[in-house]
Amino acid sequence: MTTMDTPAPASARSQPLAPGTLAIVVRLGLIACIGVLLSSLSPGFATTDNLLNILRQASLLFLVASGLTLVIIGGGLDLSIGANLTLCACLSAAAIKSTGQPAAGIVVALGCGALVGLTNGVLINRVKIPPFLATFGMLWVAQGIAYWFMAGQVVYGFSPAFRFFGSGFWLGIPLPIWVMLVTGACGVIFLSRTTIGREVYLMGANEAAAVLSGIPVARRRTLLYVVSGLMAGLAALIYVARLNAAEPGIGEPLLLPAIAAVLVGGTSLFGGSGSLVGTLLGAIILTLIVNALNLLNVSASWHPFVTGVIVVVAVLADAAVNRGARR
């Protein structure tokens, strides 16, 4: 006879990978396959400089998509992240140029992003406007304010101190990559190691159960939208510092890739499942695909089409998984 304290046989201890772990392994394998393919297409792909450049490009996409990931896991949706980034970029650039102080731009960008996120949260959780309609409307509001504020102008030419934020290096690694790693680690700890993080998953998986458990769902979701806005503001600072310019259309091309990164990373549009690690891998996969298209001399006009196809495939796969889970 065996007791509860008796170690199980080695064969019994061998367990298949958990679904979340398996998904991460699959995405890592996909990244490796794409990397091998690109290395065969271009001998210069596997150089340190090129790989760091790929991670730097993926870092911006991850910052925008990370806040969206939290919102979707919690059962919401934020279509305003690209327009929010645009507004943050324009206002912060103007603040830096008028004051000469990068700190002023940082405060303005983060404050603007948080304010837009808070407005989304109030409209959705207090006024009870559906997330799609509220954030779609905010997309147009933020974009319209940015176009009105800039009046067709481009703000450019920032100090080296500010530009270091987007194009500088620390220990030989671009600063945006460090920002991505730090914010990603904080997000992973928040979701996996805090009570609120676990509540976020329950809210997305079963809102009724979350309410019955005493979770303040409205306040928690509002917090997620504020965090999403803050991440848009942070991404705006890095984007402006990298480009050394800000204009009213700067964030428009980022919405679809951000959604794609979240879905390719395995976060379900139905809420309740997903991870920031998956979103990071999704951002890297999309960046590698764009590089592959460039190496194959595919016209840039086809890039949105490819991204759209990826989004559709990811949504169909997500829907199929959810149908299977309900059976």
Among the listed ranges 89-98, 183-192, 301-310, which one has the minimum average pLDDT value? Answer: 301-310
Question: In sequence order, what are the residues at sequence separation of 6 or more whose Cβ sits closer than 8 angstroms to the Cβ of residue 94?
Answer: 149, 155, 246
Q: How far is CA 314 from the centre of its chain?
A: 16
Which of 103-112, 240-249, 257-266, 302-311 has the least mean pLDDT? 302-311
Per the domain annotation, does 218 fall within a domain? yes
Phi, psi at residue 174, to the nearest 5°? -55, 140
Which one, of 39, 75, 64, 82, lies nearest residue 282 by Cα? 64
pLDDT at 7: 46
Whole-number Å distance between alpha carbons of 126 and 310:
34
pLDDT at 5 over 50: no
Residue of higher predicted confidence among 18 and 261: 261
The letter for the amino acid at 284 is: I
Over its C-alpha atoms, the chain yields an Rg (Å, rounded) of: 21
For residues 210 and 212, what is the distance between their CA atoms, to the nearest angstrom?
5
- Give the number of other CB atoms < 10 A from CB of residue 260: 27
Please count the structural domains in the chain.
1
Query: What's the pLDDT score for residue 296?
Result: 76
**If pLDDT is split at 50, 70 and 90, which confidence band does 1 have?**
very low
Binned at pLDDT 50, 70 and 90, residue 189 comes out as very high
pLDDT given for residue 222 in this prediction: 95
CA–CA distances in Å: residue 35 to residues 32, 54, 238, 311: 5, 11, 26, 21
> What's residue 284's pLDDT?
93
For residue 134, give its domain range. Answer: 47-322
Confidence band of 253 (pLDDT split at 50, 70, 90): confident
Q: pLDDT (tens digit, 9 = 90+) per residue, 306-315?
A: 877 877 877 7
Tell me, yes or no, whether 5 lies in a domain.
no
Residue 265 is assigned to a structural domain of this protein: yes
- CATH at 178: 1.10.3470
By the 8 A CB rule, do 93 and 244 touch?
Answer: no
CB 122 within 8 A of CB 222: yes
DSSP assignment of 276-299, as one string? HHHHHHHHHHHHHHHHHHHHTT--
pLDDT number for residue 249:
87
Q: Is residue 22 part of a domain?
A: no
In a domain, 16, yes or no: no
Any domain includes 36: no
pLDDT of residue 4: 43
33 class by beta-carbon count within 10 Å (0-12 exposed, 13-18 middle, 19+ buried):
exposed
87-91, 275-279, 310-314: range with lowest mean pLDDT: 310-314
Per-residue pLDDT, 71: 96
* 83, part of any domain: yes
**Is the pTM of the predicted complex or chain greater than 0.85?**
yes
State pLDDT tens for residues 98-148: 998 999 999 999 999 999 999 999 999 999 999 999 999 999 999 999 999
Interval 23-52: pLDDT, tens:
788 888 888 888 888 888 777 777 888 889
- Residue 324 pLDDT greater than 70, yes or no: no
Q: What is the pLDDT of the chain when averaged over all its residues?
A: 87
Asked if residue 15 is part of any domain, the answer here is: no
